[in-house]
Each structure stands twice: as C-alpha cells, then as structure tokens.
Amino acid sequence: MIGTTQEVEFDELMIEDLILPTIIVPARLASTRFPGKLLSMVNGKPLILWTAERISEVAPEFNLFFAVDGNEIGDVLEASGFSVVKTDPSLVSGTDRIAAANLEIL
C-alpha cells in the first residue's frame, strides 16, 4: 500500500542469500584500437585470463561474471572456470553490456 510502512523481519541467512556482492566485467573483442586485445597472449596466457585471475585473487568473496560479446572470448573464460553472460554484440558500451548481463543474472 502506498504511504504505509511495514516491518519485515529477515534472518541473517536470508539476507546473505539476497545480498551477494557481484562484479560484472564487460569484455568484447571488437575494439577499434586493438581488435582482439583480450585474447592476445601475454606470457603464454590470454590477457582476459590475467584479468579474471587477478580479480578472483583480490575479491574472492564476490561473484564474478564476464559480460561477453561472443563465443570466442566466452569459451576461453568458461574453459578456465569463469562465469560468462553472453550479451548482444550490437550493444554500444560496456555500461550497456553490464546492464544486460545484470538482468540475466537476476
């Protein structure tokens, strides 16, 4: 009802289930300055995996998703155990890709 306040009790376990800290990283291959950069090999490993592993190290308590624009980058991430949300390649910005992935995750 509009204009009324209701008290609702949540137990701690329920709150923990509802509030999951999440990181969504936009990742696409269609860069204009350096196409395919995220799959470029750096010391024997694709750049995107260096990024994914570092995020996992510094924020292990967070759920980590990569919002990707296609299968090529998604396959690399999934093969290494990372979660991927495939988004429309026509999305114009990383912010749009994050928003689309967020809707999928919910």
Cα atoms in the Cβ-side hemisphere of radius 13 Å centred on 54: 8
Q: How far is the C-alpha of 75 from the C-alpha of 44, rounded, in Å? A: 17
What DSSP designation does 10 have? -
Asked if 39 contacts 73 with a C-beta cutoff of 8 angstroms, the reply is yes
Over the stretch 10-57, which tens digit does the pLDDT of each residue have? 555 555 555 678 999 999 988 788 889 999 999 999 999 999 999 999
For residue range 69-82, list pLDDT tens digits in order: 989 999 999 999 99
pTM listed for this prediction: 0.80
Domains and CATH numbers, the chain: 20-105 (3.90.550.10)
pLDDT at residue number 98: 96
Residue type, 84: V
Residue-averaged pLDDT of the chain: 87
The confidence score (pLDDT) of residue 14 equals 52
CA distance 28 to 94: 9
Measured CA to CA, the distance from residue 28 to residue 84 in angstroms comes to 12
pLDDT at 18: 57
